Amino acid sequence: MKNHRRLWRTGCWSINVSRRNLGYLSCGKGNPIDDCWRCDPNWEKNRQRLADCAIGFGKNAVGDRDGKIYVVTDSGTDDPVNPKPDTLRFAVIQNEPLWIILIGIW
Protein backbone atom coordinates (compact mmCIF):
# COMPACT_ATOMS: atom_id res chain seq x y z
CA MET A 1 0.00 0.00 0.00
CA LYS A 2 2.90 2.36 0.72
CA ASN A 3 4.10 2.03 -2.87
CA HIS A 4 0.64 2.88 -4.20
CA ARG A 5 0.51 6.02 -2.04
CA ARG A 6 3.98 7.03 -3.18
CA LEU A 7 3.11 6.46 -6.84
CA TRP A 8 -0.09 8.44 -6.49
CA ARG A 9 1.64 11.28 -4.64
CA THR A 10 4.48 11.56 -7.16
CA GLY A 11 2.22 11.34 -10.19
CA CYS A 12 3.79 8.10 -11.42
CA TRP A 13 0.54 6.25 -10.85
CA SER A 14 -1.22 8.21 -13.59
CA ILE A 15 1.68 7.58 -15.97
CA ASN A 16 1.45 3.83 -15.38
CA VAL A 17 -2.33 3.81 -15.84
CA SER A 18 -1.98 5.81 -19.07
CA ARG A 19 0.68 3.46 -20.35
CA ARG A 20 -1.59 0.48 -19.67
CA ASN A 21 -4.36 2.04 -21.76
CA LEU A 22 -2.11 2.77 -24.74
CA GLY A 23 -2.70 -0.70 -26.14
CA TYR A 24 -6.21 0.15 -27.23
CA LEU A 25 -5.95 3.88 -27.72
CA SER A 26 -2.85 4.10 -29.91
CA CYS A 27 -4.18 2.75 -33.19
CA GLY A 28 -2.00 4.30 -35.86
CA LYS A 29 0.23 6.11 -33.37
CA GLY A 30 2.58 3.44 -32.03
CA ASN A 31 5.07 1.12 -33.61
CA PRO A 32 4.06 -0.38 -36.98
CA ILE A 33 3.71 -3.97 -35.79
CA ASP A 34 1.42 -3.14 -32.87
CA ASP A 35 -0.63 -0.75 -34.99
CA CYS A 36 -1.12 -3.46 -37.59
CA TRP A 37 -3.16 -5.63 -35.23
CA ARG A 38 -4.45 -3.13 -32.68
CA CYS A 39 -6.32 -1.22 -35.35
CA ASP A 40 -8.39 -4.33 -36.06
CA PRO A 41 -10.77 -5.02 -33.14
CA ASN A 42 -11.40 -8.53 -34.49
CA TRP A 43 -7.75 -9.56 -34.88
CA GLU A 44 -8.31 -12.76 -32.87
CA LYS A 45 -10.71 -14.07 -35.50
CA ASN A 46 -8.05 -13.96 -38.22
CA ARG A 47 -4.71 -14.56 -36.54
CA GLN A 48 -3.07 -15.48 -39.83
CA ARG A 49 -3.39 -11.83 -40.84
CA LEU A 50 -0.71 -11.12 -38.22
CA ALA A 51 1.80 -12.41 -40.78
CA ASP A 52 1.02 -9.28 -42.81
CA CYS A 53 2.37 -7.18 -39.92
CA ALA A 54 5.95 -8.37 -40.38
CA ILE A 55 8.63 -5.82 -41.21
CA GLY A 56 12.31 -6.20 -41.95
CA PHE A 57 13.85 -9.48 -43.07
CA GLY A 58 10.71 -11.60 -42.69
CA LYS A 59 8.22 -9.26 -44.33
CA ASN A 60 8.18 -11.18 -47.62
CA ALA A 61 7.91 -14.65 -46.08
CA VAL A 62 4.74 -16.39 -47.20
CA GLY A 63 5.41 -20.07 -46.59
CA ASP A 64 2.97 -21.85 -44.32
CA ARG A 65 1.06 -18.75 -43.34
CA ASP A 66 -2.18 -20.59 -44.05
CA GLY A 67 -1.49 -23.40 -41.58
CA LYS A 68 -4.11 -24.72 -39.19
CA ILE A 69 -4.57 -23.20 -35.74
CA TYR A 70 -3.44 -25.50 -32.93
CA VAL A 71 -4.45 -24.52 -29.39
CA VAL A 72 -2.21 -25.69 -26.55
CA THR A 73 -4.29 -26.31 -23.43
CA ASP A 74 -2.00 -28.56 -21.38
CA SER A 75 1.33 -27.45 -19.92
CA GLY A 76 2.41 -31.03 -19.22
CA THR A 77 5.76 -32.26 -20.54
CA ASP A 78 5.86 -35.69 -18.93
CA ASP A 79 6.98 -37.73 -21.95
CA PRO A 80 9.36 -35.92 -24.33
CA VAL A 81 9.52 -38.91 -26.71
CA ASN A 82 5.75 -39.44 -27.01
CA PRO A 83 4.12 -36.18 -25.93
CA LYS A 84 0.39 -36.18 -25.45
CA PRO A 85 -1.89 -34.06 -27.65
CA ASP A 86 -2.80 -30.54 -26.51
CA THR A 87 0.77 -29.89 -25.28
CA LEU A 88 3.30 -27.53 -26.80
CA ARG A 89 5.76 -30.38 -27.19
CA PHE A 90 3.20 -32.27 -29.29
CA ALA A 91 2.43 -29.20 -31.42
CA VAL A 92 6.03 -28.49 -32.41
CA ILE A 93 6.73 -32.02 -33.66
CA GLN A 94 3.87 -32.02 -36.17
CA ASN A 95 4.79 -32.27 -39.85
CA GLU A 96 2.25 -29.71 -41.00
CA PRO A 97 2.44 -25.92 -40.65
CA LEU A 98 0.62 -24.67 -37.55
CA TRP A 99 -0.24 -21.43 -35.83
CA ILE A 100 0.34 -22.40 -32.21
CA ILE A 101 -1.74 -20.53 -29.65
CA LEU A 102 -1.02 -20.84 -25.93
CA ILE A 103 -4.09 -20.52 -23.75
CA GLY A 104 -3.19 -19.03 -20.31
CA ILE A 105 -1.79 -22.23 -18.84
CA TRP A 106 1.62 -21.02 -17.72
Contact partners, residue 48, CB within 8 Å, separation at least 6 = 65, 66, 67, 99
- State the Cα–Cα distance between residues 37 and 46, nearest whole angstrom: 10
Question: Averaging pLDDT over each range in 42-46, 59-63, 88-92, which range is the top one?
Answer: 88-92
The residues pairing with 74 across neighbouring beta strands, listed in sequence order, are 87
Is there a contact between 50 and 37 (Cβ–Cβ < 8 Å)? yes
State residue 86's pLDDT score. Answer: 92
Is pTM, for the whole model, over 0.75?
no
Residue 55 identity: I
Side-chain half-sphere of 56: how many Cα atoms within 13 Å? 2
